[in-house]
Amino acid sequence: MATLVSFDPADGQPVGEVPITPVDEISAMVARARAAQPAWAALGPTGRRDALRGAASRMIEAAEAVGLQLTREMGKPLAEGVGEVRYTGKGLIEELDEMVEAFTAEVVEDAYTRSEMRYDGLGVCAAITPWNFPFSMPHWMVLPALMAGNTVILKPSEETPLTGQAYVDLLGADLPDGVLQIAHGADAQGKALVAADVDLIAFTGSRAVGQSIMAAAAGRLTRIILELGGKDPLVVLDDADVASAARFAARNSFRNAGQVCVSTERIYVDEAIADRFVDALVAEAGKMKVGHGTEDGVRIGPMVNQRQRAHVLRQLAAAEADGARRLCGGEAGPGAFLQPAVLDGVTHAMDIAREETFGPVACVIRVADDDEAVRLANDTPYGLGAIVFGGDEARAAAVADRLDAGMVGINRGVGGAFGTPWVGARQSGFGYHKGIAGHRQFAQVRVISRSKPKPGKRS
């Protein structure tokens, strides 16, 4: 059987391998999932929760080993790899309880009618996921899909098949046959799943692949949930605390080697404080140790592969040729390493200001005032996250109101309180997930109504 080998991007060494799922086996997997679905749905939300809750302790116990494998597969620092697995396990019970609430039927009544609103499974869900958070991204799709009463086939990224397999093994240990399956491979397996007889496609990945999935799904009007790329802006107002804005900008531009969908990719700084901000940002970048994720003190590991790094290097070179100034970083090391770069003098004529970079690059664009910052921040087809830093919270909040993004952070990152959705505006998403409203996108709403007895009539 053909295998998919996973390589360490730091040194090119193989980490492990999985069998590739032959494309012509996908329809049999879907048939197995369809056969398993009615009994899974019949358990109801609490029965499904009970079948899944044992995964919490399994994930916490396996966090060190699976986190190490994750770090070796895609490069992020070990503490972040282990943390990704551990926090998924730690949060599981609370998430399951929230999903029981989301998928439990509600009664809505008026004077004449009593309606039951049900949140039922759609059938078979295909979950197709990226490599940048290879444990939590599958979780964000698979868990609500299962809890809604669907059976699921996960197609993890070909860059991180071992972590995808570990996730399915840990989550699925107590599940009946056919409820959760995994298909390994690359775009061919993804396309085959999209074309198969599935009822919902939950996808997290690039905008280009999202567009092709949407087009392919149109033929059968298959339901889709797309969480796509971003080009997130950070606006730094003239009254911002420069040191903390620069510290935040470095962390949010370079974390996970810049390979986070809500990484800061563009920084609009008021020209009154721009020199001080840029100096502080370069100093922060210089403090971040680059190296193998398993080395002590490393803050930035290698990028996921040399192809992704080549894309970043091309954008950097083109921006410099058009007049941007590279103040630090940008040097390519062995493996897929790239030193964190700060670019000043970026303009919107440059590709690097418009297309997703997904690498350790901070692009600084100097602006005259808040209006120019807002206009440029919104000058993109993306709309995932946006952040504003400012001293006067009311003024920062007024700027936040004008930023066209699904999630906006004021003097902090974009992540919302537990219960709020993860949501992209514009071309960063189509549908969303998390929170009661997000969970329900994995279900079919059904309204079952009956008449109420007329007042005064004996029943």
Does position 131 bind ligand NAD by CB under 6 A?
A: yes
Q: Choose between 15 and 245: whose C-beta lies nearer to ligand NAD.
A: 15
- Contacting residue, 6, 21, 88, 129, with ligand NAD by CB under 6 A: 129
| Total residues in contact with ligand NAD, by rule CB under 6 A | 32
b or e along 307-319 (b: 16 or more beta carbons within 10 Å of the residue's beta carbon)? ebbebbbebbeeb
Q: Choose between 381 and 391: whose C-beta lies nearer to ligand NAD.
A: 381
- Around Cβ 41, how many Cβ atoms within 10 Å? 18
What is the footprint of ligand NAD within residues 137-156 (CB under 6 A)?
137, 155
What is the footprint of ligand NAD within residues 320-379 (CB under 6 A)?
356, 358
Does position 194 bind ligand NAD by CB under 6 A?
A: yes
Picking from 253, 331, 340, the residue whose alpha carbon sits closest to that of residue 289 is 340
Q: Nearest to ligand NAD by Cβ — which residue?
A: 190
* Cβ contact 6:16 at 8 Å: yes
What is the footprint of ligand NAD within residues 95-114 (CB under 6 A)?
none
Rg of the chain on CA atoms, in Å = 23
- Fill in the per-residue mask, 259 to 298: x = in contact with ligand NAD (CB under 6 A), - = not in contact: --x-------------------------------------
Q: Choose between 188 and 436: whose C-beta lies nearer to ligand NAD.
A: 188
Q: Which two tokens stand for residue 439?
A: 């969970």
- Taking the C-alpha atoms of 281, 298, 422 and 166 in order, what is their torsion angle to the nearest 10 degrees? 170
- Around Cβ 454, how many Cβ atoms within 10 Å? 9
Does position 228 bind ligand NAD by CB under 6 A?
A: yes
Q: Choose between 280 and 425: whose C-beta lies nearer to ligand NAD.
A: 425
- Contacting residue, 72, 191, 292, 434, with ligand NAD by CB under 6 A: 191
Quote the CA–CA distance of 6 and 1 in Å, as a whole number.
16
* Cβ contact 58:89 at 8 Å: yes
Does position 225 bind ligand NAD by CB under 6 A?
A: no
b or e along 231-257 (b: 16 or more beta carbons within 10 Å of the residue's beta carbon)? bbbbbbbbebebeebbbbbbebbbbbb
- Which residues, at least 6 apart from 317, have a Cβ–Cβ distance to it below 8 Å? none
Rounded least distance, CB 404 to ligand NAD, Å: 16
* Secondary structure class of 158 (helix, strand, coil): coil
* Secondary structure class of 288 (helix, strand, coil): coil
Using alpha carbons only, give the angle 253, 257, 263 rounded to the nearest 5 degrees. 35
Does position 157 bind ligand NAD by CB under 6 A?
A: yes
Stretch that binds ligand NAD, among 20-28, 221-229, 241-249, 360-368 (CB under 6 A): 221-229
Rounded least distance, CB 48 to ligand NAD, Å: 24
Q: Choose between 165 and 204: whose C-beta lies nearer to ligand NAD.
A: 204
Quote the CA–CA distance of 48 and 41 in Å, as a whole number.
8
Q: Choose between 199 and 344: whose C-beta lies nearer to ligand NAD.
A: 199
Name the one residue in this structure whose structure tokens are 């002590």: 296
Q: Which residues are part of the catalytic machinery? A: 227, 261
Q: Choose between 205 and 390: whose C-beta lies nearer to ligand NAD.
A: 205
Stretch that binds ligand NAD, among 27-35, 111-119, 187-195, 339-347 (CB under 6 A): 187-195
Q: Which two tokens stand for residue 111?
A: 């004077």
Rounded least distance, CB 239 to ligand NAD, Å: 31
What is the footprint of ligand NAD within residues 35-54 (CB under 6 A)?
none
Rounded least distance, CB 203 to ligand NAD, Å: 7
Rounded least distance, CB 217 to ligand NAD, Å: 10
- Which residues, at least 6 apart from 310, have a Cβ–Cβ distance to it below 8 Å? none
Picking from 326, 342, 208, the residue whose alpha carbon sits closest to that of residue 264 is 342
- Around Cβ 162, how many Cβ atoms within 10 Å? 23
Rounded least distance, CB 424 to ligand NAD, Å: 5
Q: Please give the residue ranges that form the binding site for ligand NAD (CB under 6 A).
A: 128-132, 137, 155, 157-158, 186-187, 190-191, 194, 204-206, 209, 212-213, 227-230, 261, 356, 358, 384, 422, 424, 428-429
